């Protein structure tokens, strides 16, 4: 479904240039959930932004549904691929109602039947019809993230890209959103890429994962390998230890 070969992304030019992604390759099969894990600056979010077309200048090959992607993406591409961002406070227009936020992708994709689609999308993410004409500031963080998910799914994509979808949320709300994502993924037969710094979240949701550091792949493994505690690379082991919590010396 998604193939990435030798992806490189460079920001800036000359001496100040930063290579955020330095030759990364991976493939995600249909209906699979794939995790990208790493710390700040590892390039994991840049990979996702290159995939969905927000980062235009890249080298290497990105193939989505067997089609090689270039600088610009078509409307059909965005019908196929949608993204949910990290910060539900920054990614919804503060002066648009939920209705207008959800109506925009329908208008762009000329899907029609907006009224019915919006009502259904709200229902699917567990928000009642009473939320439809509210503004983002009237919603909690978890409710906003539900709106973001509804906005992504309203065009019925087959691929969902998630960039730290729960890291701005409280633990109890994170559990609700993770459950929602697992249910939608099953019902919609989605192919998903999840970017996160949290190994527990990735291990919980993903089938396979790729650990990144400084723009390079450290190791690729199955979630099963992660559970049985068998990462080969020292870097992954360090991440795993840190995720298990603080230990007194």
Partner 1 sequence: MTSPLLTVEGLRVSFPTRTRVVEAVRGIGFTVGREKVGLVGESGSGKSMTGRAIVGLVPPPGKVTAGRLMLGDVDVLRASARKMREVRGRRVSMVLQDPRFSLNPVLTVGAQIAESYRAHERVPRAKARDRALEMLRAVRIRDPERVHDAYPHELSGGMGQRVMIAMMLAPDPDLLIADEPTSALDATVQMQVLAILDDLVTRRGMGLLFISHDLRLVGAFCDRVLVMYGGRIVETLAAADLERAAHPYTRGLLAALPSLGRAGEPLPVLERDPAWLEDQR
Residues in contact with partner 1 by CB under 8 A are: 39-40, 141, 170-172, 174-176, 178-179, 182-183, 197-201, 203-205, 223, 226-227, 238-239, 241-243, 245-249
Residue with tokens 């965005």, as numbered in its chain: 78
Q: How far is the CB of 90 from partner 1 (least distance, A)?
A: 16
CA distance 47 to 24: 9
Q: Is the Cβ of residue 2 or residue 201 nearer to partner 1 in the bound state?
A: 201
Instruction: Quote the CA–CA distance of 36 and 209 in Å, as a whole number.
Output: 6
Closer residue to partner 1, CB minimum distance, 52 or 177: 177
What are the beta bridge partners of residue 26? 4
* Residues 125 and 147 sit within 8 Å (Cβ to Cβ): yes
Q: How far is CA 163 from CA 44, 112, 175, in A?
A: 9, 29, 16
What are the structure tokens assigned to 153, written together? 């799914």
- Nearer to partner 1 (CB atom), residue 17 or residue 200: 200
Min CB(222)–partner 1 separation in Å:
11
Nearer to partner 1, 40 or 130 (CB): 40
Query: Nearer to partner 1 by C-beta: 35 or 103?
Result: 35
Burial of 227 per CB tally in 10 Å (0-12, 13-18, 19+): exposed
Smallest distance, partner 1 to C-beta of residue 238, A = 6
Locate the DSSP E strands across 98-249. 159-163, 191-196, 208-213, 216-222
Minimum Å distance from CB 14 to partner 1?
A: 21
Q: How far is the CB of 227 from partner 1 (least distance, A)?
A: 5
């Amino acid at each position: 479904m998604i193939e990435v070969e030798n992806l490189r992304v460079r920001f800036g030019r000359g001496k100040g240039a930063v290579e955020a992604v330095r030759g990364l390759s991976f493939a995600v099969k249909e209906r699979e959930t794939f995790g990208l894990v790493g710390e700040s600056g590892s390039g994991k979010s840049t990979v996702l932004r290159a995939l969905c077309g927000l980062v235009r200048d890249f080298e290497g090959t990105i193939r989505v549904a067997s089609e090689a992607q270039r600088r610009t993406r078509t409307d059909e591409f965005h019908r196929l691929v949608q993204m949910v961002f990290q910060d539900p406070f920054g990614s919804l227009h503060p002066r648009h109602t939920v209705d207008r936020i959800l109506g925009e992708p329908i208008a762009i994709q000329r899907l029609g039947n907006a009224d019915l689609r919006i009502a259904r999308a709200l229902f699917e993410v567990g928000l009642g019809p009473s939320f439809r004409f509210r503004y983002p500031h009237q919603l909690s963080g978890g409710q906003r993230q539900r709106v973001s998910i509804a906005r992504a799914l309203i065009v019925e994509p087959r691929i969902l890209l998630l960039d730290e979808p729960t890291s701005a949320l409280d633990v109890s709300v994170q559990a609700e959103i993770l459950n929602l994502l697992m249910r939608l993924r099953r019902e919609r037969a989605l192919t998903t890429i999840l970017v996160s710094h949290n190994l527990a979240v990735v291990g919980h949701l993903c089938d396979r994962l790729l650990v990144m550091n400084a723009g390079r792949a450290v190791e690729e493994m199955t979630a099963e390998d992660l559970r049985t505690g068998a990462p080969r690379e020292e870097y992954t082991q360090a991440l795993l230890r840190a995720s298990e919590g603080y230990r007194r010396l």
